[in-house]
Structure 1
Amino acid sequence: MGKYSYSIYNSTSVLPDEWDSIAHENIFLSRNGLAVLKKAPPANMECHFVGLFSNGKLCGIALIQYLDLARVATFKNRERSFCLKDYLIRKFSSHVLFIGNNTLTGQNAYLLNKEISETEALALLQMAMLNLKKEYSKKGKRIHLLAVKDFNEKEMPDFEAAGYNGYYKFCTQPNMIFTIRPGWQSVEDYLSELNTKYRTQHNRARKKAAGITKKKLSLSEISALNARIHELYLTVADKAAFNTFYLPQHHFEIMKQELKDKFRFYGYFEGEKLVGFNTLIKNGHDADTYFLGYDEEIQKEKMLYLNMLYDMVAYAIKKEFKHIIFARSAMEIKSSVGATAEEVFGIIKHTNPLLNFFMQKLFTYFDPKVEWKARNPFKT
């Protein structure tokens, strides 16, 4: 690569001093954001940080993750104790190495400055990923899948130019993004632009939530409620048809420790009992939603999830963010409050050439299909 080189780091304490001068555009790639992944990662995840250099000077930063899918029940089959898809994943595709952050939706894989082009950076990252593949092999872990996740379609040609050969391009569930419109000064401005049906939905949800109080929790309060928070988180996580990881119990506590005021944790209480929570991360001009949890019965009775979405909208407008990144899942209800779908793409390759030849068919078989209808709550 001539003047370009890379280094792989396995601890945030040894990252180059100038790391955050590049990471300022994305909190998830900052030293503190990455520290969360080292101090409180999912049990089946390992994280590696990559520095890209031009003539010895840092010009790019990136995240590469390893996932062991054999350590989680990836697919749920509530009717049967045996799940064929889960068995096949464990047998042939459980060890995954990819450029990106599997706990998030969107391009949180790398950041570059002007000293390196996209193509040059991607070529370096592929070299780093293949280097890590060899290192895992030495430890007796054969990598089955190589992947890059969550990019816009216009960025795909850069991967081809960088030599990502034999990869299958895929598109799964979209990233749901809510855009704060120019001129919105308060939530009343947002409500005034909703059509009658969706203003009624908002008012009904707010009435249903009577008796529920919302509170921003401090680090000590999160710590004291760790067990209950984890219980509520698992209620939601276990509903997913497809899971690649579970957060550890102390994850939100560590997130608050590292990101401080940039991380907002809101608890929803019925009396003194925590019955739900949601989280937001202030990331430049955007507010990124993170994980949430709730009591299933309270959620149904109080329309808790929908109320959380409206609370996030009100907060983002008040704090003058440009977007709320609502991420994947529950696309229809998110669209009912005004979020729109943005397609994100990835590429994937099996290290077994025969299996890789059938990657398109295999991916289609394993990809959980979600049928949903986009809503437009705004006046036309």
Structure 2
Amino acid sequence: MKKITVKIFETINDFPENWNAVAATNHFLQIPYLKVLELSSPTNMQCFYIGFYENSELIGVSLAQYLDLNKLESFGERDNCFKTFIRNFIFRNFASHTLFIGNNMITGQNSFTFNKEISFENISYLLTQCSEELIQFFKQKGIKIHLVSFKDFYQDCAVEFKKFAFDKIYEFNTQPNMIFELPSSWNVKEDYYNAFSKKYRDQYKRAHKKFEGISMKELDLDEVVLFESRINELYHHVAKNAPFNTFFLAENHFSTFKSQCGNGFKIFGYFLEEKLIGFHSVLVNDAILETYFLGYDDQVQKEKMLYLNMLYNMTEFGITHQFKKIIFGRTALEIKSSIGATPVMMSGFIYHSNKLINRFLGKIFKKLEPETFWQQRHPFK
């Protein structure tokens, strides 16, 4: 292996011409999606785009995100308790400047891709080199990075990284990624319904009965722009009631996403008496369908089982459009398992710049991470 060098870009305008060709295996490292981040990233986030070169040839790309948590309006308002107060105090005072190698806005192994075979050993050292160069970049600006996190690796990758550059970095596992591997024999939504056991067929019928009176339609760009204020209102309602947040989407995020990615980004509106009462969005990543942000009116959600119906609709969209799997992400684990998704453990790696804090990071992290108790459901015959 010849020596691989790292080049960090602050703007997409400086990219080499073959960036997209090198990033061909992952849409979330290609220019249309990265342009969305550049034009509509959260107000407390700055993105960096990383090229890996062998001699003068671009052979791989990566993404990094800097988050200034001092600019965050709220870490999440669902859990109003002393533990949450302590957690927020610690984050604001000891972890307010955080660097992610990877994408903190989506779930999955999207932090790097190469157009040739590169060993896990080499990748692990390249990713740590990226973090070190960005730490120096911020140091020159008078900003000290508190936390560095390498985000979302499947277990085969994490095990290998741990053998090399990540051997002394704390590995953490938070909530699993809920993934639905769709059987190739399913072609229509009736195949999905017929696979349920009686209990979950009854749940499906009950949810659809509650859903009566609501219409769903895919929104084009003009409609996303027209409804964007309401979309943001619905998104913020759900986001603020999450147990923990490190960012909130920019107000122009959804329209920017639709204008840049076209059919690669789909947003569906839910209407009751012509009023938008919810939406869900999905990302198309070749044969994989990735669920993205959603929002809803809480009163309608409770009455109409809106969230559960959204999950059914995403699944049926995946089936009828012949996706191989749907990535549902880390929230609402139990209800997602009830529609067929199964948990897949993912690892991250994290360290603190303060050596004393870093020494006890494992114990601190376990105390701060909100505990989630859930029961996996098995809905199929």
TM-score by length of 1: 0.96
Paired AA for residue 188 in structure 2: S
2:179 to 177, 189, 193: 177
Equivalence for 1:109: 111
**Structure 1 range deviating more: 22-31 or 211-220:** 22-31
Residues 359 and 75 of structure 1, relative CA distance in 2, 3 Å threshold: farther
SS for the counterpart of 2:266 is: strand
How far off its partner does 1:126 sit?
1.4
| Counterpart secondary structure, 1:135 | helix
Deviation at 1:159, TM superposition (A): 2.3
Equivalent position of 1:74 in the other structure = 75
Native 8 Å contact 2:76 2:240 kept in 1? no
Q: Which amino acid aligns with 2:351?
A: K
Equivalent residues in 2 for 1:189-228, closer than 5 Å: 189-228=191-230
Give deviations 1:26-64, integer Å, cap 9, x for gaps.
111111111111100011111101000112111110001
Q: Which runs of 4+ in 1 moved over 6 A?
A: none
Gaps of 5+ in 2: none
Q: Distance in 1 between matches of 2:166 and 2:103?
A: 19
Superposed, 1:1-380 pairs within 5 Å as 3-72=3-72, 73-76=74-77, 77-78=79-80, 83-114=85-116, 116-379=118-381
Describe the superposition over 1:66-93 as per-residue Cα deviations: whole angstroms up to 9, x where unpaired: 1112222325453579912111111111
1:236-282 Cα shifts (integer Å, max 9, x gaps): 10111111110011100000011101111100001211000000111
Question: Partners in 2 of 1:157 and 1:108 — Cα distance?
Answer: 17
Distance (whole Å) between structure 2 residues aligned to residue 153 and residue 342 of structure 1:
9
CA distance in 1, matches of 2:297, 2:224: 17
One-letter code of the match for 1:209? F
Amino acid at match of 2:197: N
SS in 1 for 2:293: coil
**1:20 Cα offset (Å):** 0.8
Post-superposition shift, 1:117?
2.6
Q: Which deviations, in whole Å up to 9, do the C-alpha atoms of 1:190-238 show, x marking residues without a partner? A: 1111000100110111111111010110111101111100000011101
What is the DSSP-based 3-state SS (H/G/I as helix, E as strand, rest coil) of the residue aligned with 2:109?
coil
State the Cα distance separating 1:122 from its structure 2 match. 2.6
1:2 shift after superposition: 5.6
* Matched-pair contact (CA < 8 Å) for 1:60–1:116: no
2:101–2:131 contact (8 Å) kept in structure 1: yes
Distance 1:118 1:56, change over 3 A: farther
Superposed CA deviations along residues 299-318 of structure 1, whole A, max 9, x for unmatched, are 01111111111111111111
User: Identity across aligned pairs (percent)?
Assistant: 42
Deviations 1:152-179 (A, max 9, x none): 2221243244423531010001100011
TM-score, with structure 2 as normaliser: 0.96
Q: CA 1:375–1:148 in structure 2 vs 1: closer, same or farther (change >3 Å)?
A: same
Structure 1 window deviating more from structure 2 (95-104 vs 118-127): it is 118-127
* Contact kept? 2:219, 2:269, Cα under 8 Å: yes
| Contact 2:47/2:65 (8 A) holds in 1 | yes
Does the 8 Å contact 1:59/1:116 carry over to 2? no
SS at the partner of 2:201? helix
**CA distance in structure 2 between the partners assigned to 1:70 and 1:187 by the alignment:** 46
Provide the C-alpha distance between the structure 2 equivalents of 1:367 and 1:233, rounded to a whole number of angstroms: 23
Partners of 1:345 and 1:323 lie apart in 2 by: 20
Instruction: Answer whether contact 1:75 1:83 (CA < 8 A) is retained.
Output: no
Tell me, in whole angstroms, the C-alpha distance in 2 between the residues paired with 1:82 and 1:99.
26
Residue identity in the other structure for 1:38 = E
Question: Take 2:3 and 2:87, find their aligned partners in 1: how far apart are those partners?
Answer: 45
SS of aligned partner of 1:62: strand
Does the aligned pair in 2 maintain the 1:219–1:257 contact within 8 Å? yes
| C-alpha distance 80-341 of structure 1, shift in aligned 2 (>3 A) | closer
Are the counterparts in 1 of residues 179 and 341 from structure 2 also a CA contact under 8 Å?
yes
CA–CA separation in structure 2 for the residues paired with 1:104 and 1:211: 32
- In 2, the alpha carbon distance for the partners of 1:154 and 1:263 equals 29
Unaligned runs of 5+ in 1: none
Figure out how many residues of one structure are paired with residues of the other and give that number: 379
